[in-house]
Structure 1
């Protein structure tokens, strides 16, 4: 409990600022920050995390990505044609949507660059919402192997985004 309180005091302002920059929406930023902490509390091995702040940042990045997957389509429906004489600045949501599109493209490229089995297991977890136990049963692998593939996938995406995505984050 003390470790979580300390993490919250140290990281919540940073996360809130990160989400505000990326979403342009104070309420959405606050919701995403709170959801990040909810998810880290749900990690069964929270007490054993060597670097909970880094793990929290990974959760935050994943939440941001998930946040923009659905709204991207809704945003595209809201676009209106502008005449050539229009001089309208991009609203923060539109800038965030453009950044989300760039991040989504990088994410898809990182997935394409993964080993097939690692990609399959990662997508079963993140896209299909399957638990590690369900994945283990589906692909007939040990729990350790499923966890190994998930760690490889997350590390690969992290490296790929670090190497290719400075202006998309």
Structure 2
């Protein structure tokens, strides 16, 4: 631990060798940590890379750090929060695009839209009951996550998890459908 403090101090002064030593020690741990949450090794490696990039670009701040590993995992926790916040925003946008009214210009497009809507309806029907209910409350009834949580007496995070899973299922199904149609 004493040696690690020396590496952190050297890194805060711009020592690239100290950075390399800390990187080699902690990068595999961070990748494993992230992979356990995001379930995508490439994304996990990118997130770890971003942490170390941030460490290097803000290395002067490290002189005030008491525990490097605690500091590093606090950065990792914040990166995960940002990742999930970003994912929720993307999923909400995808869902809005999925259910926005389409302007259909010809019969072929109209048939395609109807077939696609039928596939979506079928996929929604195949969802577990609670996920289906939450999805419909969100997308059909227009309730926000807090309203759904209060109505069903569950946490807002549970609502978000169900919506994330529902949108993921629909996205996978739509990718397959688009491959078949085109």
The TM-score with structure 2 as length reference comes to 0.46
Question: Greater CA radius of gyration, 1 or 2?
Answer: 2
The TM-score with structure 1 as length reference comes to 0.49
